[in-house]
Amino acid sequence: MKLGSQGLEISAQGLGCMGMSAFYGPPKPEMDMIALRRHAVAAGVLLGGVREDEQPATKFGISSGDDGKPDFRGDPPYVRAACEGSLRRLGVDCIDLYYQHRIDTMVPIEVTVSGTVSNRNRILG
């Protein structure tokens, strides 16, 4: 299916990975998660199973505050750090869909978005 107007085509199904490492209990065994990903590839969720045929998506907007409670952030330095962390953890050099998971009501959305666009240009060179 087409996503947006820039020509990105994605599978109708995706593989959400957030629960593999956080938020839903302890991290899952790596070999089990590899097996799950391979199953998703075989089922057609991740077409072909190679970077050229996958569309990595990740989100930003929630960090852990000093008290351990969620902190919603949209300031450009955080957005950039979150993106760089996602690139490193995913082991990719490009994220196809990067979106804000929670809105930071203290930062105007125009500031968050403008920071995201300028960060994209710096990250991609």
CB 66 within 8 A of CB 26: no
DSSP codes joined into one string, 10-22: --SS----HHHHS
Q: Backbone phi, then psi, for 97, in 5-degree steps?
A: -135, 115
pTM given for the model: 0.70
- Give the span between the Cα atoms of 87 and 84, in whole angstroms: 5
Q: How confident is the model at residue 65 (pLDDT cuts 50, 70, 90)?
A: confident
Give the residue, 6 or 81, on which the prediction is more confident: 81
Q: Of 40, 36, 87, 37, which is closest to residue 60 (Cα–Cα)?
A: 87
